[in-house]
Amino acid sequence: MAKEARLERIGTGLAPVTDGWFVVNAREAAWIRHDTFGYRCPFEANGPVVRGTDRTPLPFDQLGIGLSVLRPGQPSTLYHAEPGNQEDFLVLSGTCTVTIEGEQRELGPWDFVHCPAGTAHAFAATGTEQCVLVTVGARTTREWVTCRRRSPRASNRRRRRAQTRTRRTATGGTTACRRSRSSSR
């Protein structure tokens, strides 16, 4: 039988410091503030939550879930893909643009985005209000690749650079991604 996790105040709010089940209100949970990428509530004691403390990160093993709050014009993250992990997103409020495999879509409240493993994506808040996203991701692997959207006329020198992978997009350009390991997620 699973035991209840112990929650403690870490930085801005409560986070689990032991394994187990727990209940926490998002208003009381630990939030991460990033000048570029907005506010995040990961509901776990991941690397960014415990940074600057003597705590060891305690990320969820199988599934990451969180909230992201973005100001108008603010991106959610670098354009990236997770080769072994499915990710899903639900817009709760506000509006945003998702760039997914080089294509852009405008999103509003209750719009859902599904990204199979390896799908390059990023969000940016639009409109005049903040955008709130529910973020969910599998934890099959801890690999993360940053991607650059390239025009069809990218230089040969840049094309020759070693990349993890390069994929054609529907618009004729390419999306190039570099592999890295993430220890803070």
Residue 162 has what pLDDT? 33
| 118 assigned to some structural domain | no
pTM of the model: 0.79
Residue 159's pLDDT band (boundaries 50, 70, 90)? very low
| 5 assigned to some structural domain | yes
What values do phi and psi take at 75, rounded to 5? -80, 160
Q: In sequence order, what are the beta bridge partners of 179?
A: 145
| 100 assigned to some structural domain | no
pLDDT, tens only, 16-69: 999 999 999 999 999 999 999 999 999 999 999 999 999 999 999 999 999 999
For residues 57 and 176, the model is more confident at: 57
| 52 assigned to some structural domain | yes
Q: Which domain holds residue 51?
A: 1-33+43-57
Q: How many domains does the chain have?
A: 1
| 2 assigned to some structural domain | yes
Q: Are 59 and 50 in contact (CB under 8 A)?
A: no
